[in-house]
Amino acid sequence: MFKDRRVFISGGAGVIGKELISKILTQGAIVFTGDLKPCPEKWKGKLRYRQGDLNLMTSAELESFEPEFFIHLAATFERSTESYEFWYENFWHNVRLSNYLMSLAKDLKSIKKVVFASSYLIYDPALYSFTEPRETAVSLKESDPVYPRNLTGMAKLSHEIELRFLEKFRSEQYQIVLTRIFRGFGLGSRDVISRWVRSLLNGEEITVFKKEGMFDFIYSKDTAEGLLRLANSVVSTGIVNLGTGRSRRVSEVVDTLRKHFPDMKVKEEQSEILFEASQSDIKLLKEITGWQPEYDIERAIPEIIEFERERNSDSKSVKWGKILVSSASQKVSLVRSLKDAAAKISTDINVVAGDINPQVLSSFVADEFWVMPQTKEENIGNIISWCSENNIQFVVPSRDGELIFWAKNKALLAEHGINVMISSASSINRCLDKLEFSEFCVAENIPSIPSFENLDDCTSPLYVVKERFGAGSLSIGIALTKAESVEHAQGLINPIFQPFISGTELSADAYINNIGEVHGIILRTRDKVVNGESQITTTLHNLEIEEIVEDALTKLDVRGHVILQLIVDDNNQPHIIECNSRFGGASTLAIKAGLDSFYWFLLESIGEDLSSYPFRFKEEKIRQVRIPQDIYIYGSNI
């Protein structure tokens, strides 16, 4: 059915998603899925997985996959009575997410079928809710009146209307199926059946409301099968009910559980909610697919009990740590970019700005602030202790002078569960020592600007004079005569000399993964430079230069986010000047252009393979203008 078909599924690690993906992988589909939860171990290497909030997925991620089928499952819900706090959660993960994902997908030429997991909560509850118990259930048809009974139902109807709107313009390109799923239950769910099973396994009493209520309970395996059949059908379009077509009383569920838990304790409580008596009219489902759900509660509940038993004996919960930005200083954009990257994975990941100065601006935008000790060897014990006590899981160094410290202690920190975005000490030393860097480039046939300790060894009409060690812009002299070079060198500690080359100055931001592969490169022109950093910078795409950069970075054996500085001369020949083994002041432009370095670093740190997160360069040029921006702090946050 789906062999070699490209299928995108949102919410793939959810109750229905797991069943659906297991089925579709067996059929040979090429799958891309995303979820807030980590990728299940059994799927690793078998599909493309994106962990994190899909509200933050980029258009490039979806475009690069070129899906034929778009199945939208991701949603959040609360059972029966929705809490006050659900107001925002429903908007973000239901209303906004549905609109956002379809905005990414609606104009893709590859799309052939869109399947939306809607809900029977859309139907007017007056049709199936009663003040007294009913003998028979109301069979709800696709044509019945709608009036969502809660926020979740409202969100589902809202997106149905959006999709019907798109159908007016895209019906010739792709079909849209709006699948109204009835009372779902399944393995690892938050539904009432799974909750009761978990309580009973723990020897707890269960509470039952309105035991005479009647629901069309559909098992997640059947839901997944129905969605796939509707996706695969060439005639399915519009609204289709997905239920068993047979309602069951709550008391029947309790009786079935009692067969497996004969000593179970049940407490019946009164409730103001009405008696429900609903079931799905599945005539259209059977007509389209020639199939109907196969599971009933008697067959499904034993599977749920077995699943929960195994999960209880091997339960693992993800506890996210924090990210420390060392030497955070005034690097507000860097901290904000890290917060954005963390949010893609989990809202539980906080960013801590660390600096020896308690008055730095980054403290106002980070989630937390630490007046940290200097990054010196005598302080490593205190730094590790503080990081361990405060649940630091990731470290991003941001200053040249501390890179060696973090690199030397990378393995020690890893033993304490702390991952550092840093290259090896030898690679960093090579990059910090501009003479060694130059000699390495010559030896490795990397096109670069040669460096000399003796001015007489450098033949050029004009010269560049700089410090051998440290930041490249420190006390630099540019386009100097020989006499001026001699004079300038007297004010430096370890001067080196380079021929001055006129041309266009570029920066190449890149991310190199844990095994030394260049995952992505963004070139940018340095249009206006202030104190060695680009104040105005613009992306560009040049395949030849990118290939030279990739070769150089591979030979330099660096890791994480790095920056190469280049000059492209008047003959269009690139000359590499130096390599900065860290995230730069203007590197946030590279993130905007698709080089998602912080996100990739976090993913690699938790064991994800970046092959599921490909880099895709944004063809449209982007210019970054770095200007001060006011922020405002209110009330109790001051």
Lowest mean pLDDT among 152-166, 196-210, 460-474, 502-516: 460-474
- Report, as an integer, the average pLDDT of 533-553: 94
Per-residue pLDDT at 483: 93
Judge whether residue 315 has pLDDT over 50: no
Q: Which of 384, 404, 422 is the last residue of a domain?
A: 422
Per-residue pLDDT at 314: 46
Both 529 and 623 in a single domain? yes
Judge whether residue 199 has pLDDT over 70: yes
CA distance 104 to 102: 5
Both 354 and 290 in a single domain? no
Whether 473 is in a domain gets the answer no
Distances (CA, A) of 181 to 71, 219, 368, 423, 591: 14, 10, 43, 50, 39
The tokens for 386 are 């503080």
N residues, the chain? 638
Percent of the chain with pLDDT over 90: 84
Whether 487 is in a domain gets the answer no
Question: At which residue do the structure tokens 């540019």 appear?
Answer: 478
Q: Among residues 319, 276, 306, 347, which one has the least CA distance to residue 123?
A: 276
Both 374 and 511 in a single domain? no
- Per the structure, the complete domain to which residue 354 belongs is given by 322-422
Q: Which of 422, 451, 480 is the last residue of a domain?
A: 422
Judge whether residue 329 has pLDDT over 90: yes
Both 224 and 78 in a single domain? yes
- Report, as an integer, the average pLDDT of 522-537: 89
Both 37 and 171 in a single domain? yes
Whether 461 is in a domain gets the answer no
What are the counts of helices (DSSP H) followed by strands (DSSP E) for the chain?
20, 31
Whether 170 is in a domain gets the answer yes
Phi, then psi, of 519 in degrees rounded to 5: -90, -25
Number of domains in the chain: 3
Judge whether residue 190 has pLDDT over 60: yes
Judge whether residue 312 has pLDDT over 80: no
Both 632 and 517 in a single domain? yes
Whether 491 is in a domain gets the answer no
Are 523 and 595 a contacting pair, CB within 8 Å?
no
CA distance 391 to 324: 10
Both 592 and 527 in a single domain? yes
- pLDDT tens digits along 407-418: 999 999 999 999
Q: What are the CB-based long-range contacts (under 8 Å, 24+) for 345-349?
A: 345/51, 345/52, 345/53, 345/320, 345/599, 345/602, 345/603, 345/606, 346/36, 346/52, 346/318, 346/320, 347/53, 348/320, 349/320, 349/321, 349/322, 349/323, 349/602
Query: What's 356's domain CATH number?
Result: 3.40.50.20
Angle at which helices 597-605 and 332-345 cross, to 10°: 50
Phi, then psi, of 208 in degrees rounded to 5: -120, 130
Whether 305 is in a domain gets the answer no
Both 395 and 534 in a single domain? no
Q: Which of 392, 422, 452 is the last residue of a domain?
A: 422
Per-residue pLDDT at 473: 62
Whether 638 is in a domain gets the answer yes
**Residue type present at position 233:** S
Percent of the chain with pLDDT over 70: 98
- Report, as an integer, the average pLDDT of 49-63: 89
Both 631 and 579 in a single domain? yes
Band (617; pLDDT cuts 50, 70, 90): confident
Are 311 and 18 a contacting pair, CB within 8 Å?
no
Are 360 and 353 a contacting pair, CB within 8 Å?
yes
Both 105 and 239 in a single domain? yes
Judge whether residue 41 has pLDDT over 90: no
Band (35; pLDDT cuts 50, 70, 90): very high
DSSP state of 245: S
Both 506 and 386 in a single domain? no
Pure H helices in 569-632: 588-592, 597-605
Judge whether residue 130 has pLDDT over 70: yes
DSSP state of 402: G
CA distance 11 to 54: 9
DSSP state of 80: S
Q: Among residues 56, 172, 50, 58, which one has the least CA distance to residue 111?
A: 172
- Report, as an integer, the average pLDDT of 199-213: 94
Per-residue pLDDT at 348: 87
Beta bridge partners of residue 327, listed in sequence order: none
Distances (CA, A) of 269 to 203, 206, 209, 266: 19, 10, 6, 10
- pLDDT tens digits along 345-403: 888 899 999 999 999 999 999 999 999 999 999 999 999 999 999 999 999 999 999 99
Query: What's 615's domain CATH number?
Result: 3.30.470.20
- Report, as an integer, the average pLDDT of 438-461: 94
Both 184 and 38 in a single domain? yes
Q: Give the mean pLDDT of the chain.
A: 93
CA gyration radius, the chain: 30
Which 3 state secondary structure label does DSSP give 93?
A: helix
- Report, as an integer, the average pLDDT of 111-134: 97
- pLDDT tens digits along 253-278: 999 999 999 999 999 988 888 999 99
Whether 601 is in a domain gets the answer yes
Are 574 and 545 a contacting pair, CB within 8 Å?
yes
The tokens for 274 are 């009405």
Judge whether residue 471 has pLDDT over 70: no
- Angle of CA points 260, 265, 267, to nearest 5°: 130
Are 118 and 160 a contacting pair, CB within 8 Å?
yes
